[in-house]
Amino acid sequence: MSSVAVVPSLIETTHHMEPKRAFDFWRCTALAPFGDVARPDPRERFSAKRLTVTAAGGLLTHTVSSPVSIDVRSRHVDRNGRGMVVIGLAIDGIGYQEQCGRGAQLEAGDISFLTRTQPIMAGTQSHYEEIRLAVPLEIFEARVGRINALAGRSIRAQARSAEVGARLRSVAGSIAWMSESEASTAIDGVLHLLGYLVGDRTTEAGADVSPAAIEALTRAHITRRLHDPELSPGDIRVALGVSRSSLYRAFAESGGIATAIRDARLDLAKRRLEAPRDSQLKIATIAYACGFTDIPTFNRGFRERFGLSPRALRAASS
């Protein structure tokens, strides 16, 4: 009696590569379809692993990787190809995405949306783990809603989104051993839950320039440029094409735009100081990589935000 055929799957990894060639290998293989690919700090050791499963007309990937950034420009978009929508689940790391004039900073548990028919800027500033489910546009819009209202946005980790995330993680953990019909049913279940979660978010707003939208896009831009010590509110205003008053109004209730930049840098530094993979790096090296140029200022801000010094945090994490 013949066994039921399982869906096609592929594991890609850099573990067999020489360290100095690992990123170039990953860029030319796993990330080859995604436009211009770079990484925040080319001096750091790079490693990555990805499971890819093709099922139900879509694609599921589960990736663990060192930080990377992608810039999918107009010349990279295949406008004659079948439109695909990408649903992302951040499991670990600090990331960002920008598309269609919208953006989001991504942290563990967040669910995000992108379309492959428009330019994209996305990436991470730390080692990360994520699951992405790409489905045909017509299936997404039938089960979830209009992608034009969701592209570039995210749903923050919350009680309501936890069920979707748990279901997607469960599917990612078992889909490589499913038949095509089982995989189709499992993916439909994820989309069904997601449709309830999204609800009226797919109602398209006319201008989409509310303070909340500006704040989300700004935080994505901040995360993308955390390593740049020259990043300033003025640079952000020019890059995003918003007025000074609109930018400052968007952050009026959260301490201001300069505070948002500083806190994002401190959060990334804290994460790296706690990470075993960065335990051999000097504290100053991590601070500089997060965009700080003055170590006493970094130490003082770190203590004010987290209640202990960078050195004390590292000692407690070891």
- Report the alpha-carbon distance of residue 80 to residue 77 in Å, rounded: 9
Per-residue confidence (pLDDT) for residue 318, from 0 to 100: 76
Per-residue confidence (pLDDT) for residue 202, from 0 to 100: 57
125 contacts: CB under 8 Å, gap ≥ 6: 40, 67, 94, 95, 96, 223, 224, 226, 227, 268
- Report the alpha-carbon distance of residue 40 to residue 228 in Å, rounded: 9
Span(s) in the chain for CATH 2.60.120.10: 9-202
Per-residue confidence (pLDDT) for residue 206, from 0 to 100: 43
Closest CA to 309 of 291, 292, 296, 318: 296
Q: What are the b/e assignments for 299-316, b being 16+ CB within 10 Å? A: bebbeeebeeebeebbee
The CATH architecture of the domain made up of 211-317 is Orthogonal Bundle (1.10)
pLDDT in tens, the chain (318 residues): 456 688 999 999 999 999 999 999 999 999 988 889 999 888 889 999 999 999 878 899 999 999 999 999 888 886 655 689 999 999 999 999 999 999 999 999 999 999 999 999 999 999 999 999 999 999 999 999 999 999 999 999 888 889 999 999 999 999 999 999 999 999 999 999 999 898 756 554 444 568 888 999 999 999 999 989 999 999 999 888 888 999 999 999 989 999 999 999 999 999 999 998 898 899 999 999 999 999 999 999 999 999 999 999 999 987
Span(s) in the chain for CATH 1.10.10.60: 211-317
The matching CATH number, chosen from 3.40.50.2300, 2.60.120.10, 1.10.10.10, 3.40.50.720, for 9-202 is 2.60.120.10
Is the distance from CB of 117 to CB of 80 less than 8 angstroms?
A: no
Local structure of 109: helix, strand or coil: coil
234 contacts: CB under 8 Å, gap ≥ 6: none
Per-residue confidence (pLDDT) for residue 201, from 0 to 100: 60
